[in-house]
Amino acid sequence: MAFRMQFAVPEAFDLTKESKSTLEMYGGSEYAKGCLLARRLIERGVRTIQLSHSIDGYDIAWDTGHGDIAGGHTKLARAWTRASPPC
């Protein structure tokens, strides 16, 4: 299984294979690309995936209490909401 997965990985990382509508649905943030990549890896048999979420200089993710809390959380939430499918 591990041998097969090694050959599936390069294809999984090629996001140009996704349709324009799928790319638009996920959005253009780095987090959105991570979600799309996670989906592609799961489809190829990867069992565990962890995503990090930080954008626009908020490199410590949701810990934005040392600056503009509302602005930081709004930017992070907007990117997360668009890229993450409903449960």
Residue with tokens 């790319």: 23
In the numeric block, which tokens belong to residue 51?
Answer: 């995503």
**pTM of the predicted model as reported, rounded to 2 decimal places:** 0.61
Per the CB < 8 A criterion, the answer to whether 44 and 8 are in contact is yes
Q: What is the pLDDT of residues 29-72, one digit of tens each?
A: 777 888 899 999 888 888 898 887 665 555 556 666 667 777 77
- In the chain, where the domains are located: 2-83
